Structure 1
Amino acid sequence: MNYLNGKDSVLDKSDIAQRRLVRQEPKGMIDPNGAGRRLRLARYEPHDDLRDLIEHFWIVEWKIEPGLIEEQRVLPYPNANLVFESGQSALFGPVRGAFIKRLSGSGRAVGVRLRIGSVRTYTDVPMARLVDTSVSPEALVGDLVDAEEVILSAGDDHAMIETVETLLRPRLRKLDATATWVDEMVRMIAADPRLLTVEHLAQRSGRTVRTLQRAFLAYVGLGPKWILRRFRLQEAAYRLAGREPLELVTLAYELGYCDQAHLARDFVRHIGQAPASYRRSQT
């Protein structure tokens, strides 16, 4: 059964009618063809009054045959995520490598991809300390046990998200000017694959390289060079999973790699297989 599009999905027409779906494809999903068999992914936009805090909501559900364990690999965006999952709810910082989730039985997780810079308004913990780790989200949601139970038992997608929004709305705080600017820079990198170097980004932003580095470390936890590399690797995986013909040499050049070998090394390290074999597995 395809849990991304299957008939048994709990995503129904009432959910779609009440809340806007995120239409842009998730480029961080590794093995999208296999993921469609393993799980259901739905993403929703927040209400307008919460856009200073939330980029979007995501809901994942899975149902694996008894006795089996399946692995889903994700190449995450540089945002922090507030995740509600039974017994595992947490505020997750950016992940430098691939995030690997081993799925068994059945379950669901409700996630909030937070806007870049928003975590800094709720905690004194430096963003760099949140990289590759997670912390209790009580600064955002209050009593975690109660929040988790209420959200996951709320019912359909719409009800769960409404519950999260109701929980977060009283704690909403305005992003400061630097956080807003860094968020705009990250969005610029994601939207323009021609941005390949920190120097190029500095020229586009009108700031110095050093200013970019300091601001990104403070509000993302990772430098602009890492973010540029993450987005171009996501783009490589996304295009290799597509049906359009392409040459690996050309792809490497377009994404700013020195040569095909550099792309291959980066790909194997994070995706777990060579670009050519990954493409064959998807097409």
Structure 2
Amino acid sequence: MQTIVSEDPGFAHAQQLPTSRYVEHVRPASAVEVVEALWSCRVHADGRQAVLPDGRMDLFASWNVDDHGRLSSPAIRMCGPSARLHFVDGSANTVWMGLRFQLGWGACALGVSAKELVDRIDPDPGLPPELNASVKAVLASSTFDEALARWGEVAVEASRFARRRVDAMPEWPAIQAVLASARAGTGAVHDAVPERTMRRHVLRHVGLSLRSVQALCRFQRGLRLLKGTPPIALAAIAHDAGYADQSHMNREFKRYGGFSPTRPLDAPATWRH
């Protein structure tokens, strides 16, 4: 298990280099409830890439790619939820591709403990038997398009596995309602479940406290508004994202992104509506 090492946020801009291109691809329709994104990242030059926190979990693979687009040297990794900025080292002629799971669904889809994976990357994850065959097929891919299609198959299998697990959890609808409120910025707690109990459920399934989840969703909303077009005033962004005021937004951007809203970091906003 590898711990994610965070850099000093004050050096975020000095560390960040435009070394890769991140793309989100079409997900299988049957996996949308569980899988937030089927993504790829092609690394064009040696350097460091900023990864902004969003509280999600990822399962992804990496390959070397030659001039003819052939993939080799596959490796699989599982990335746990994080609430802090970190950087990853990228090597030229490398491609990363994988699945990012919807908030709270990752542990159910991968059969792991979210709390044990907080701020960690597992380079040799033990996957549930239901996913072994489809993940092995991904790693055997020889081209980008082949790998992309096979990741779609993993998404479907992981979604089926996750739904079977949550069907046995009577608290799951309430958890999803609370996480939806966090994404929307309403901050509501489900009436049918005591607040203290709900906070325990969120910590178990997301790996982070409900307060951290709400703050991360607010940060990602603000980041998308900041990068949107046409540009809008910072005070309006703070209001629309759910911050108390612009100073509150400035503090949380520095805490979670290592930058101020006036100097946005060149990294993708990963949370979607």
- Both structures adopt the same fold (TM-score exceeding 0.5): yes
Partner residue, 1:108: 95
CA 1:117 to 1:180, structure 2 compared with 1: closer, same or farther past 3 Å? farther
Kept in 2: contact 1:85–1:148 (CA 8 A): no
Q: Structure 1, residues 70-120: CA drift from partner, whole Å, max 9, x if none?
A: x33232432211111146521111011124233331211111123423524
Match of 1:138, SS state, is coil
Give the AA of the match of 2:227. A
Partner residue, 2:43: 62
Partner residue, 1:142: 132
* % same residue: 20
- Out of 115, 120, 127, the position equivalent to 1:128 is 115
Supply the distance in 2 between the matched residues of 1:185 and 1:148 (Cα, whole angstroms).
Answer: 34
Give the AA of the match of 2:57. A
Q: Give the superposed CA RMSD.
A: 3.4
Kept in 2: contact 1:91–1:137 (CA 8 A): yes
Supply the distance in 2 between the matched residues of 1:247 and 1:168 (Cα, whole angstroms).
Answer: 39
Partner residue, 1:239: 225
Kept in 1: contact 2:28–2:155 (CA 8 A): no
Report deviation, 1:251: 3.0
Report deviation, 1:218: 1.2
Match of 2:207, SS state, is coil
Partner residue, 1:12: none
Q: TM-score, normalised by structure 1?
A: 0.67
Q: Structure 1, residues 252-277: CA drift from partner, whole Å, max 9, x if none?
A: 34434343222212212332222123
Question: Pairwise mapping of residues 68-217 of structure 1 onto structure 2 (< 5 A)?
Answer: 68-69=46-47, 71-86=48-63, 88-115=75-102, 116-120=104-108, 122-123=110-111, 125-135=112-122, 136-140=124-128, 141-142=131-132, 146=136, 149-151=139-141, 153=142, 155-157=143-145, 159-166=146-153, 172-173=160-161, 174-176=164-166, 177=169, 178-179=171-172, 181-190=174-183, 192-193=184-185, 195=186, 197=187, 201-202=188-189, 206-217=192-203
Report deviation, 1:278: 2.8
CA 1:59 to 1:143, structure 2 compared with 1: closer, same or farther past 3 Å? same
CA 1:243 to 1:117, structure 2 compared with 1: closer, same or farther past 3 Å? closer
CA 1:112 to 1:181, structure 2 compared with 1: closer, same or farther past 3 Å? farther
Supply the distance in 1 between the matched residues of 2:17 and 2:172 (Cα, whole angstroms).
Answer: 33
Partner residue, 1:278: 264
Match of 1:142, SS state, is helix
Partner residue, 1:43: 25
Partner residue, 1:229: 215
Give the AA of the match of 2:194. T
Between Structure 1 and Structure 2, which shows a larger proportion of strand residues? 2
Match of 2:215, SS state, is helix
Aligned length in residues: 232
Supply the distance in 1 between the matched residues of 2:109 and 2:59 (Cα, whole angstroms).
Answer: 14
Q: Structure 1, residues 159-211: CA drift from partner, whole Å, max 9, x if none?
A: 21332354576674213243454345324432x24x1x4xxx115x5433213
CA 1:163 to 1:247, structure 2 compared with 1: closer, same or farther past 3 Å? closer
Kept in 2: contact 1:118–1:179 (CA 8 A): no
Supply the distance in 2 between the matched residues of 1:72 and 1:164 (Cα, whole angstroms).
Answer: 23
Which structure carries more relative contact order (alpha carbon 8 Å, separation 6+)?
Answer: 2
Task: Give ranges in structure 1 of 5+ residues lacking alignment.
Answer: 1-29
Q: TM-score, normalised by structure 2?
A: 0.69
Supply the distance in 1 between the matched residues of 2:197 and 2:261 (Cα, whole angstroms).
Answer: 35
Report deviation, 1:61: 1.3
